[in-house]
Amino acid sequence: KQRIYRIPEEQSPGTVVANITAKDPDDEDSPSRLFYSIQSSDTYFSINPSTGVLQVSGRIDRDVLPLQLHPNVSMIIRVEDSPRVGHSSEMEITVIIGDINDNPPECNPSTFRKEINENTTAGIVLLDLRNSCRDIDVDPPNNLFSFTGLSGFGSNNFALESAESGRLVMTESIDLENPSNPGVEVYSLTVRVQDIASPNYSNTIYIYIRIKPVNEFFPVFSSPSYEFYVPEITKVGSSIGKVTASDADWPPSVITYSIIAGGGTKDYTNAFWISPINGDVKILERLDYETTQKHFFTVQASDQEKTATASVTVNVLEVNDEEPICSPNFYSFQIPVSLAVGTNVNGFRIQCQDRDSDPRSFRYFIGGNVNNHFTFSPVAGSNTSQLILASPFDYENGLDTKWIYRLRVYITDDNLLSVKNKATHLVKTGTVTLSIRVIPNPTTVTTTTPGFTVVTKKENLYLDSAWYVPFVTTLGSLLLLGLLGHLLARWLCARCLSAPQADSTPLINAPEKKKPKKEVALEMIKLNTVFDGEARDP
């Protein structure tokens, strides 16, 4: 009435499971005609109705539900002696489905990606592969597997802790800056996961480990200090030098540059600029040797995490870029035509200053100096020089015709003997304008324009030291005018007192007296003062 059979899973359709037979006592002497059938619904098996052979009818997979949880398949087999009204009998058959190793171990995911820092300590567990892998076979040892065959680029830096655990560990730390490992950032590994039971199905696991660079090193300047030499006439915006820094990290860090201290002037917070990308140093304002000969500032190199500094000294090179400044820069005066040669003209003296040149480099040149009447003494090598009459005037013989000289004095600092660096030497020129009027002698006739004659009258020329001349002249004039006024008043008064009476008759006719005629001579003297640049009004 009851029977148990065992068969492995995944049997081919048509495989005989059992041969069910029955006997009918009514047909003891003759063959019986019996009919077999399965009463319960079953998708795995079928029975031949005539012979009672129980066969596999469909795929039997022990590793999926419901067989995964309930591997026993029970069914009721009925046998009848007539299809319609005959007698029947039943029996229960249980088929136990056995598990076979028909599935390889699988990992989900089958590809692993891991990032670690280059200074990761050796011995640390990077991956636990077993947690991601399984074998769907139900029963041991069919569902047991191991990890083997670690291989690939960089496998010498990694290992499996054990075949059973499937844990990947780092055997030695990785240094990207190591010359034996120049810049390798990604390691490609493979591991085989394999069944323990035959036929030892397996799969492949792919592992990619990326080594993240660590900023381990500080930037280092190519020099702890830099010194640049810049002529003071260098244009604003010009590059004057370059600083460079690097560090030993791999890959090379991106370094940026900046000025963090110094480099300022009275007009600018910072007179210098540095390119943050390449360390090129430029000037933001014109440098002046006469104001500041050296500039100091500090530059910083940064790789976003670590920094380094270096000092920069800018030496300003002196260039002759300043012109002589002279005082006075304009002067007008008069001199007599008879002035003696060698005389300091009107006491005139020029005094010059130059911020970047020695007074010994000064030279004096005179433009508009017709007939070379004037010269400076000394003509060079001093910041103070006097104007000297070098040759006499000769108007009588027609050698001279100009009475007004407009001189342009050029003061240069071009004495190359005093220049240290002739390559950067420039000549700068200061200018002074002089206006000199020559005063002719009395009765000298000067022809200025054809058809016109100018007659110069005699004038009383006096020196600034003869202050008594105008004083005495003025005092005498005032006394003379006072005397004339007094005489005029007395004359008018006498006329009033001597008027004739109406009834008086002179007894004796006295002879008439003639009053002497008075003549008053008024002499006007025109005085022209001559300003020689040193006169003082008393």
Of the candidate ranges 159-163, 336-340, 428-432, the one whose mean pLDDT is the lowest = 428-432
Q: What is the mean pLDDT of residues 48-77?
A: 90
Q: Helix, strand, coil % (nearest 5) of the chain?
A: 10, 40, 50
- pTM for the whole structure: 0.53
Q: What is the mean pLDDT of residues 306-324?
A: 89
For residues 45 and 54, give the distance between their C-alpha atoms in angstroms, rounded to a whole number. 7
Query: Which domains does the chain show, CATH number per domain?
Result: 2-98 (2.60.40.60), 106-212 (2.60.40.60), 221-317 (2.60.40.60), 325-446 (2.60.40.60), 459-482+522-538 (no CATH)
Q: Which phi and psi angles does 252 have, rounded to 5°?
A: -55, 135
Structure tokens that stand for 397 in this block: 């013989």
Q: What is the mean pLDDT of residues 56-71?
A: 89
CA angle 486, 491, 497 (to 5 degrees): 125
pLDDT band of residue 446 (cuts 50, 70, 90) is very low
Which long-range contacts does 471-480 make (Cβ < 8 Å, 24+ apart)?
Answer: 473/525, 473/527, 480/522
pLDDT at 5 over 90: yes
DSSP state of 528: -
pLDDT at 345 over 80: yes
Q: Give the pLDDT confidence score for residue 514 in this predicted structure.
A: 52
User: What ranges make up the beta strands (E) of 243-329?
Assistant: 245-246, 256-262, 272-274, 280-283, 294-302, 307-317, 325-327
For residues 454 and 56, give the distance between their C-alpha atoms in angstroms, rounded to a whole number. 155
Structure tokens that stand for 113 in this block: 């990606």
Name residues whose C-beta falls within 8 Å of residue 313's C-beta, 6 or more positions apart in sequence: 225, 226, 227, 228, 294, 295, 296
Structure tokens that stand for 268 in this block: 């600018």
